[in-house]
Amino acid sequence: MKISINKKNFSLNSNRNLRISNQIKKDLSLFINKEIPHKYGFITITDVNLTVDYAYAKIFFTVFGGNSVEETLNILNKKSGIMHSYLYKNFHIHTIPTIEFIYDNSIEYGMKISQLIKEANK
């Protein structure tokens, strides 16, 4: 199954795509933990979506504590070239994807919904 997002085709069910996505998630998590200053908060990679040709990756993240989400997004995008090089050195696939970071607000949204449910049950 394929969907089109911003003229790029993202695959949803490919086993190889899932394996590569999970490895990218693991490798970037290690890189971020070592290389991004803790003043930007605790950054967690929540998901990685790859295009069918592995040329582009949308990296979804959350952040707890630290500075604003915008500042964290800026530092991640600033370091994306270094992360691309890191993946190139540690990954053994033909195409290393171009990285785009996107803030994942699903946890924040879930906490708000939980709070509303608690208030409604009082």
Q: Give bridge partners of residue 60 from the DSSP assignment.
A: 47, 102
3-state secondary structure (DSSP) of residue 47: strand
d(CA 56, CA 41): 26
The beta strands (E) that lie in 1-122 are given as: 2-5, 8-11, 42-50, 56-64, 98-103
DSSP state of 101: E
The mean-pLDDT minimum among 12-16, 57-61, 109-113 falls in 12-16
**Mean pLDDT for the chain overall:** 86
Contact 28, 97 (CB under 8 A): no
- pLDDT tens for 35-94 read 988 888 899 999 999 998 889 999 999 998 877 889 999 999 999 999 999 999 988 888
Domains of the chain, first to last: 2-120 (3.30.300.20)
